[in-house]
Amino acid sequence: MRSSQELLRSKRRELLIGSFQTNPSGSLREGFFYYVGTDCGKIYIMDKKLTVEETAQFLRDAVDDAIKEKKSFRIFYHIRPDGDAIGSAYSLALGLNLLGASAAAVGSDPIPSVFRDLTDEAEAVLRRKDPERGDTEETVNIAVDTATTYRLGKNSDEDIDLCIDHHGTNEPGGERYLPARYRHVEADASSCSEIIFSILKAMDIEITKLMADLLYTGLLTDVSCFRTRSTTAASLQTAAELASMGADIVDIARKHYMMKPLPRIEMEKLAYERIRFSQDENVAGTYLELDDYIRNGLEDSDLRDFNTVIDQVCKSDGSPLPVRIMVREIEKGRCRISVMARSFVNAADICAVVGGGGHNNSAGAEMQGDPAEVLEKIMEISLQNIHAKKSS
């Protein structure tokens, strides 16, 4: 059963049978739509999957059309942006701008202060080359690193022409995904920044130092400084190439993983004090309350990579925990949940129970309730998941 919001989104993609045509030339600019069945007697467009090369060709064609038709590109990133969302969106905007297109990175929420030096520099470059960027009636809308419509925030009503993502749950037909005319999703990619890097190379765009810094920041922060299982040979190769292109790999690593102000240390202390283990030591978790943020003068965006607090906890015998959970109360009574999993446990399956999603090794969700009680609930769901997997 589709939700009312999904039906409304589908209605905007309504296509009359009589007007449906594919482009005989085979250009990626038009056509290549699939039928997804009917809803209320209507036929809807289904997302067309593209390869890296096809995505690069689509973007090259779109740039040509945009310049000719005076359109602009808007690259949307998700709410509460992290390094990968910011690195992906701004590097792609800069790349399209190098080809002569008008492009802007667009989000619902403010950029966290730790990334603002890069985004301010990127904005200055985009503004200098294109003072009126984005100020056109017609736009080409691209979403990066965004797995669901909800995560576009105030931009969730926008029709997306191209979705570029690395979340395995972002698949047409799923309960929660981001509809788009075209899509390139690589669930095996470490980050969306890794994908954008491949696409920019396929477009023969010369990557500047600023673009390399943005992409390296996105990659590094999404693999927690190469400490997660999403780190692959491909991501390490991407990092090496970005370093050769001028990415400041030492300063970026220091800024995000070695430098901590005192309020951050105080928050880590609270999280350590509240760690709870399941009786069998298969699940551990901790939480932060909204009052903790207020008392230390911090916002949630200040706690980048905070999940490492619980992610480094192990069993008493030194062996790894199958599931680690971080719960943060971001508004009174509203909590953000992060689940990290190892071995046979799927973090996305755990989060899906409460309407979330993500990757096998890491996933997230939001839930109403007291943070301590939310933690207990997610620990219970995790244990049920573990026992079900062991008995199957």
Give percent of the chain above pLDDT 70. 86
Determine the Cα–Cα distance for residues 84 and 81; give it in Å rounded to an integer. 8
Question: Pairing mode, if any, of strands 72-76 and 139-144?
Answer: parallel
45 pLDDT exceeds 90?
no
The residues, any chain, with a CB within 8 Å of residue 285's CB and separated by 6 or more, are 275, 276, 310, 324, 325, 326, 327, 375, 378, 379
- What's the whole-model pTM score? 0.77
The residues, any chain, with a CB within 8 Å of residue 150's CB and separated by 6 or more, are 156, 176
C-alpha dist (Å) from residue 374 to 51, 140, 212, 379? 40, 40, 39, 9
Domain ranges of the chain: 47-256, 262-391
Which of these CATH numbers, 3.90.480.20, 3.60.70.12, 3.10.310.30, 3.40.640.10, describes 262-391? 3.10.310.30
Predicted pLDDT of residue 41:
39
Determine the Cα–Cα distance for residues 231 and 219; give it in Å rounded to an integer. 9
What confidence tier does 24 reach under pLDDT thresholds 50, 70, 90? very low
Predicted pLDDT of residue 21:
32
Which class in CATH covers the domain with range 47-256? alpha beta
Phi, psi dihedral angles at 286 (to 5 degrees): -150, 175
**Mean pLDDT, range 308-320, rounded to an integer:** 92
What is the pLDDT of the chain when averaged over all its residues?
87
Model confidence over 210-231: pLDDT tens digits?
Answer: 999 999 999 999 998 998 888 9
